[in-house]
Structure 1
Amino acid sequence: MGITRITRHPQYYLHDGSVSIHVAGTVFRVHKYFFERESEYFRERFETAGPQGDGQSDQAAFRLEDVKVSEFERLLWVFYNPQYRYDEQPMDHWLTILDLATRWEFPGVRDLAIRQLQKLDMKPVERVVIYDKYDLDRSLLLPAYMLLCKQPSRSVEDGKRLGMPTVLKINEAREYAQRFAAEQGCHSPTSADAEDEELVEILKDVFGLSY
């Protein structure tokens, strides 16, 4: 019977750490405090872990499944980022953190990821798809909805990604905006001709947003 080799993580195996965590053949030694303070999921898992997997030693490392070493590194980076250079990280970095924070119930970390995603430049369709996937506050999507309303058309692929409910609501908002522009005296109006303030109110009503 072969012996599985276990590697200590070169950065996140901390000698003053208090819990060993096994991820895909790599052992991390980190501070249990962060996990117990931030995550209901980990608090419960630690409480129910038996002596063979309680994380007290590398041999009894607490095991995490369905996560890559590179992904877990990104979550740990939130706690061990000495200079707090959050704004320098790309979108995929924050999407990984959002995904793990959602899955493992880190509400504070999830909020941080959302704030950082809000600062990043994204295409409106991409932002809507991501925010819907993680059930984020739809009020945050108001600027993206406005851009979609003002677009003269969208591709079939974008429509599929957005999903029928969102497409129908955007079309409804476009019709209201076009009607408003016509009532204001615009000849051959489009939804892009409606004033931004009115378009905001239309979208809030159509999507049921509080903003």
Structure 2
Amino acid sequence: MSASTIPIDGPLLPLYHEEFYFDDGNLTLLVEDTLFRVFRSSLTRHSPIWRELFELPHPAGEPMEGSGDEHPLVLYGISKVDFERLLWILYPADFGVCRAHTQDEWTSVLDLSTRWECADIRALAIRELQKLPVSPVDTIILSRRFDISGRWTLAAYAALCQRPDALSLEEASRLGLETMVRVAQLREQIQRGAPGPVRPKHHYQTPTSAAGNRRVGLDPVSSHPLRKPREPGQPLDARPGKPPCQTRGGTYGGLRPKSRQTSIGWSLTYSARMELCRHWQPKQSLMICARAPPLTYGVNICAERP
């Protein structure tokens, strides 16, 4: 007995989706050859496109699209795989855990969320794509397709222009003629010679220790090569032409506070700061803090009135 085929008169019934066909759902959708039954509020809550769709007037006497399996709402031009990945976000199996992990999965979510203007889901997909190791060419293509701008896109252009290897034929065909020409122009400008690193205008001398100064024959207090060495018996850090300042605790050469409470910036060495601490009265608060350049220190003196 030979095998024979059984003719089928009517069309094949669509399949129910094994996960996203809820028995208590109120919206039936037909995507390709699969039926989805979800909750209408899940879509209208995130998408203004879906809200406007259900606000349209419905003809009287006709069944409403999406009301059941016999009258589903057909989504043309939508892949059932992309729609299923979007439902991963709307109906997570585990709270706080995203089932989408790869670049293709998040691209599907980004595609439908951009079409239906789901701003929060679109922002989530962009953030997750930025965490993945996406190639510069794919980043540029995604940015142009879904209108993404910012540092992520600029970094992809910079990496493509600064890499040593030239664009391959496949990459050039994916980027298109206009983008390929712009990238080639930037690469040529970089290869001709980029400006060197910018050097700082001011160079500061690294402070040396007292032991190192003694080895080279310099005084610990007057270690700067332009300063005149201290004479024997001369007060610490005193310089010719600076009258000594008479304070309650003693004389400190060349430094004269103008008031009982003031803030003065001095260029002091370590021994000079210690000398200032010994001469100042205990009731007066002294705070010394280092700041750049290394040989300059800021001294804030707040003297209390007796």
TM-score, normalised to structure 1's length?
0.75
Instruction: Work out whether 1:69 is the aligned partner of 2:80.
Output: yes
User: Percent sequence identity over matched residues?
Assistant: 35
**1:47 aligned residue (44, 47, 55):** 55
Q: Which has the higher strand share?
A: 2
**1:58 aligned residue (55, 66, 69):** 69
CA 87–14 in structure 1, closer or farther in 2 if over 3 Å, else same: closer
What does residue 148 of structure 2 align with?
A: 136
Greater mean deviation of Cα atoms: 81-90 or 29-38: 81-90
Instruction: Work out whether 1:20 is the aligned partner of 2:32.
Output: no
Residue correspondences, number:
185
Cα distance, 1:3 vs structure 2: 4.2
- Check the 8 A contact 1:101/1:107 in 2, yes or no: yes
- SS of the counterpart of 1:8? strand
CA 178–7 in structure 1, closer or farther in 2 if over 3 Å, else same: closer
CA RMSD across the alignment: 2.5
CA 177–109 in structure 1, closer or farther in 2 if over 3 Å, else same: same
- Check the 8 A contact 1:13/1:27 in 2, yes or no: yes
What does residue 146 of structure 1 align with?
A: 158
Cα distance, 1:143 vs structure 2: 1.6
Cα distance, 1:176 vs structure 2: 5.0
Greater mean deviation of Cα atoms: 161-170 or 101-110: 161-170
- SS of the counterpart of 1:160? helix
Provide the rounded CA distance (Å) in 2 between the counterparts of 1:22 and 1:46.
17
Instruction: Work out whether 1:31 is the aligned partner of 2:47.
Output: no
What pairs with 1:1-211 in structure 2 (closer than 5 Å)? 2-48=10-56, 50=58, 51-81=62-92, 82-86=94-98, 89-152=101-164, 153-177=166-190, 181=194, 183-184=195-196
- Check the 8 A contact 2:88/2:98 in 1, yes or no: no
C-alpha offsets along residues 137-195 of structure 1, whole Å, 9 cap, x if unaligned?
A: 254212211211211222233223222332333344445545663x42xxxxxxxxx79
Provide the rounded CA distance (Å) in 2 between the counterparts of 1:100 and 1:60.
23
Segments of 4+ in structure 1 off by > 4 A? 175-180
Provide the rounded CA distance (Å) in 2 between the counterparts of 1:90 and 1:62.
30
Provide the rounded CA distance (Å) in 1 between the counterparts of 2:22 and 2:147.
35
Task: Supply the AA of the counterpart residue of 1:56.
Answer: S
Uncovered stretches (5+) of structure 2, i.e. residues with no partner: 1-8, 199-306
Provide the rounded CA distance (Å) in 2 between the counterparts of 1:118 and 1:85.
18
C-alpha offsets along residues 108-136 of structure 1, whole Å, 9 cap, x if unaligned?
A: 22221111111110111121112212222
Greater RCO, 1 or 2 (C-alpha within 8 Å, sep 6+): 1
Cα distance, 1:70 vs structure 2: 2.1
C-alpha offsets along residues 52-73 of structure 1, whole Å, 9 cap, x if unaligned?
A: 3432222222211122322211
Provide the rounded CA distance (Å) in 1 between the counterparts of 2:33 and 2:18.
13
Uncovered stretches (5+) of structure 1, i.e. residues with no partner: 185-193, 196-211
